[in-house]
Amino acid sequence: MALLAIMLLFAACSRESEGVIANENSETTLTLKTTDQTVPQTGGTLVISFNASANWTASSDQSWCHVSPSNGKFGTTSVTVTCDENATYDERNAVVTIKCGKLSRNVTVTQKQKDGLLVTSNKVEVEAIGGEATIELQTNVDCTCSIDENAQSWISIVGTRALTTKSIVLNIESNEKSTPRSGKVTFSSGDFKEEVTIYQQGSKPTIILTQNEYTVSSSGETIKVELKSNIDYSVQMPDVDWISEVSTRAVSTYTHYFVISENTSYDSRSAEIIFKNVSDGITEKVSVTQLQKNAIIVAKNPYVISRDATHLDFSVNSNVDFRVSISGSWIKQVSTRALSEHKLYFDIEENTSVDDREGTISLIGDNIKQDITILQKGGDLPYVTFTCDEIQTLRMSSSVEYLEYSLNNGKWTTLGTSTVEFGGEYGDLSLRGRAYTGTGSSRIIFGSTAKVICSGDIRTLIDYTNYEDAFTGQAVFKNLFKDCVQLMSAPVLPVTNLADNCYASMFKGCTSLKSVPNLPATTLASFCYFEMFSGCTSLTSTPDLPATTLANGCYSAMFSRCASLTSAPDLPATTLANYCYSSMFSGCTSLASAPDLLASTLASSCYSYMFSGCSSLTSTPDLPATTLANYCYSSMF
């Protein structure tokens, strides 16, 4: 008997260690072999295994958690638990209960929540004066907040406020410009992303559209046009029967819906919807392009962009699948952004060349190919340009190495000693070069008496690829326009690092020249302005001459025989050089007054013949010099 009692006690302890639960009389047992379970948010099934010594039942306390079968006979068995998808933003639990006689065991089933990231509004409107703007955010995940790079200068994050829903507070700077602006604030967490657009008014009446171009499939659709305006406006519908406005769907004053009917033809079609304020003269247009059948189309082609690096975004609508092919390594498709279907993004590199360039983006699919041409401008340079109302010809008296010409902004061709027709129907003639020594003594020769206007920057003949920083210390343009009686204006001469003889006789004998360029150099070179405007009988005024460091012969005969010249420029230099003013105004028969001459120490022949033949002079300048030099005043008057 004692041995039997010991054996029964050992068996009871063994069953308890295996998870067997018995009633007080040890008549009924229920052994559960499954612990608490977790299922994913998308739903799923799981199995609960157990051993019951009598008939049993199984049930769930939640409607989304289903147990099958719900009852059975004694023995080792299992039930299947099926959970529906959790469409809520909270985690949830259900309890599955197994009963056998008076005994019961519970298994807790936990299901993960649906993650979400929501903003209450995707559009925030701010007055031009700026201030704080609050975005209400509902989320059950950690998220980050970022601001578009092009809007970071005027939108900044102040912080968050602990409200029922999280509030992100932004600081909006005052918009000092006259035009409105917009920027995007992006909230993101993993695959979740929400964008909020901040619209800020400008300081003047305006109408701003969030999108100006819509491309619609041939099957038709309803487009949503959003705009921001601080003035009243009217909507002017196009005179077509395939676009109509749905006024009853407007959710705000600045939201409009337009129904685009199905296009059953094989031709695309387009029209414009106009938003207009008559009193302020403001008009904004929305361009609607509808596809034909079986087509790939973009709203615009070609795209002409500036030389600067930029982004190119455009929408493509197509009823066929397509792939993108790009010519030109300077165009790169951006594929890392969260794109909507058929919305394409490209980065365009800066065009560092002075020449325009062209590339092609091809959309290819279902035996259809749509090419989009990208034209990027090169440098907009101030080439030396000649304009004439009539047909004129130009040639160089001798060939200048690396000098090119272009007619009417066409291709560039080596000039050499060719005779080129321009003006009239041929358009303007432009010159450019990479001639570091300038044009030397080579002259421009026009072929007829037709008057010519010249403009541009002389440095583009030295190095047009980097004209603003071109080395000018060896560039000479001696005689370039000599005896061009047709020339009425001159190119600009901003060079301050001069070469010897650089402008000598440059405009000598240009009897039609009525205006002269500024000469900003303050340190001169030998004979740099020698006879520069000699014989320009139509000149009535001179440029300022600010130079204080002179060189031998620098102003010698500069304005000689300019018979219409009535006044002379100031001459601030106090240290002179040999022949520096020699014959500077000789033969200027209309010159009525002479400039002050400040130097006290003179140089050889410095003033010789300076005012010789100036028959209209009514007075002569003071001559304060105390240290003279050979022939310094020789035939001065």
**Cα dihedral 124, 125, 128, 132 sign:** negative
Banded pLDDT at 606 (limits 50, 70, 90): very high
| Distance of alpha carbon 302 from alpha carbon 158, whole angstroms | 43
Residue of 577 and 25 predicted with greater confidence: 577
Given this model, what pLDDT does residue 486 score?
A: 97
Banded pLDDT at 253 (limits 50, 70, 90): low
Banded pLDDT at 13 (limits 50, 70, 90): very low
Exposed e or buried b per residue across 279-288, where buried means at least 16 C-beta atoms within 10 angstroms of its C-beta = eeebebebeb
- What 3-state DSSP class applies to 160? strand
Where is mean pLDDT largest: 34-48, 368-382, 401-415? Answer: 401-415
**Cα dihedral 417, 422, 426, 430 sign:** positive
Q: Per-residue pLDDT for 164 more than 60?
A: no
Give whole-number Cα distances, 550 to 500, 560, 635, in Å.
12, 19, 21
| Distance of alpha carbon 10 from alpha carbon 205, whole angstroms | 94
Q: Per-residue pLDDT for 153 more than 70?
A: yes
Identify whether the C-beta of residue 331 lies closer than 8 Å to the C-beta of residue 361: yes
Q: Per-residue pLDDT for 46 more than 50?
A: yes
Residue of 476 and 165 predicted with greater confidence: 476
Given this model, what pLDDT does residue 159 score?
A: 67
For residue 494, whether the previous peptide bond is cis, meaning omega lies within 30 degrees of 0, is: no
| Distance of alpha carbon 485 from alpha carbon 512, whole angstroms | 6
| Distance of alpha carbon 170 from alpha carbon 160, whole angstroms | 9
Residue of 632 and 275 predicted with greater confidence: 632
Q: Which residues on neighbouring strands pair with residue 151, listed in sequence order?
A: none
Banded pLDDT at 24 (limits 50, 70, 90): very low
Given this model, what pLDDT does residue 302 score?
A: 81
**Secondary structure (H, E, C), 261-274:** CCCCCCCCEEEEEE
Query: Could you tell me what percent of the chain has a pLDDT over 90?
Result: 51
Q: Which of 99-108, 220-229, 318-327 has the lowest mean pLDDT?
A: 318-327
Q: How many CB atoms neighbour CB 594 within 10 A?
A: 22
Given this model, what pLDDT does residue 160 score?
A: 58
Banded pLDDT at 442 (limits 50, 70, 90): very high
Q: Per-residue pLDDT for 96 more than 60?
A: yes
Given this model, what pLDDT does residue 376 score?
A: 75
Q: Per-residue pLDDT for 340 more than 50?
A: no
Spatial neighbors of 427 by CB under 8 A, at least 6 apart, are: 407, 408, 409
Cα 173–chain centre separation: 21
The arithmetic mean of pLDDT across residues 377-401, rounded, is 91
The amino acid that residue 351 corresponds to is N
Given this model, what pLDDT does residue 143 score?
A: 79
| Distance of alpha carbon 51 from alpha carbon 56, whole angstroms | 10
Q: Per-residue pLDDT for 479 more than 90?
A: yes
Spatial neighbors of 570 by CB under 8 A, at least 6 apart, are: 544, 545, 595, 596
The encoded tokens of residue 210 equal 């969030």
Q: What is the pLDDT of residues 275-293, one digit of tens each?
A: 888 777 788 899 999 887 7
Identify whether the C-beta of residue 365 lies closer than 8 Å to the C-beta of residue 296: yes
Give Rg (Cα) of the chain.
44
Identify whether the C-beta of residue 493 lies closer than 8 Å to the C-beta of residue 472: no
Which contiguous run of DSSP H or E holds residue 543? none
Given this model, what pLDDT does residue 11 score?
A: 46
Given this model, what pLDDT does residue 337 score?
A: 43
Where is mean pLDDT largest: 5-14, 259-268, 417-426? Answer: 417-426
Identify whether the C-beta of residue 67 lies closer than 8 Å to the C-beta of residue 57: no
The encoded tokens of residue 269 equal 């079609």
Coarse DSSP helix, strand, coil percentages of the chain, rounded to the nearest 5 percent: 5, 40, 55
Identify whether the C-beta of residue 449 lies closer than 8 Å to the C-beta of residue 483: no
The structure's pTM equals: 0.47
Beta strands across the sheet bearing 403-407? 413-414, 403-407, 429-433, 384-387, 453-455
Given this model, what pLDDT does residue 343 score?
A: 76
Q: Per-residue pLDDT for 338 more than 70?
A: no
The arithmetic mean of pLDDT across residues 99-105, rounded, is 91
Spatial neighbors of 53 by CB under 8 A, at least 6 apart, are: 27, 28, 29, 30, 74, 100
**Secondary structure (H, E, C), 176-242:** CCCCCEEEEEEEEECCEEEEEEEEECCCCCCEEECCCEEEECCCCEEEEEEEEECCCCEEECCCCCC
Identify whether the C-beta of residue 209 lies closer than 8 Å to the C-beta of residue 227: yes
Q: Nearest-CA neighbor of 132 among 176, 79, 171, 83?
A: 171
Q: Specify burial of residue 234 (Cβ count, 10 A radius: 0-12, 13-18, 19+).
A: exposed
Given this model, what pLDDT does residue 174 score?
A: 79
The amino acid that residue 332 corresponds to is K
Given this model, what pLDDT does residue 422 score?
A: 97
- What 3-state DSSP class applies to 600? coil
Cα 85–chain centre separation: 46
Given this model, what pLDDT does residue 347 score?
A: 86
Q: Find the angle CA(396)-CA(489)-CA(525) to the nearest 5 degrees.
A: 70
Residue of 211 and 354 predicted with greater confidence: 211
Given this model, what pLDDT does residue 4 score?
A: 47
Q: Nearest-CA neighbor of 497 among 524, 477, 529?
A: 524
Q: Per-residue pLDDT for 57 more than 60?
A: yes
DSSP classification of residue 114? P
Banded pLDDT at 391 (limits 50, 70, 90): very high
**Secondary structure (H, E, C), 440-498:** CCCCEEECCCCCEEEECECCHHHHHHHHHHCCCCCCECCCCCCCCCCECCCCECCCCCC
Given this model, what pLDDT does residue 266 score?
A: 66
Given this model, what pLDDT does residue 1 score?
A: 44
Q: Per-residue pLDDT for 555 more than 90?
A: yes
Q: Find the angle CA(618)-CA(620)-CA(622) to the nearest 5 degrees.
A: 150
Q: Nearest-CA neighbor of 492 among 439, 455, 525?
A: 455
Q: Per-residue pLDDT for 402 more than 50?
A: yes
| Distance of alpha carbon 582 from alpha carbon 260, whole angstroms | 82
Tell me the average pLDDT of the chain. 85
Q: What is the pLDDT of residues 490-521, one digit of tens each?
A: 999 999 999 999 999 999 999 999 989 999 99
Q: Find the angle CA(342)-CA(344)-CA(346) to the nearest 5 degrees.
A: 170
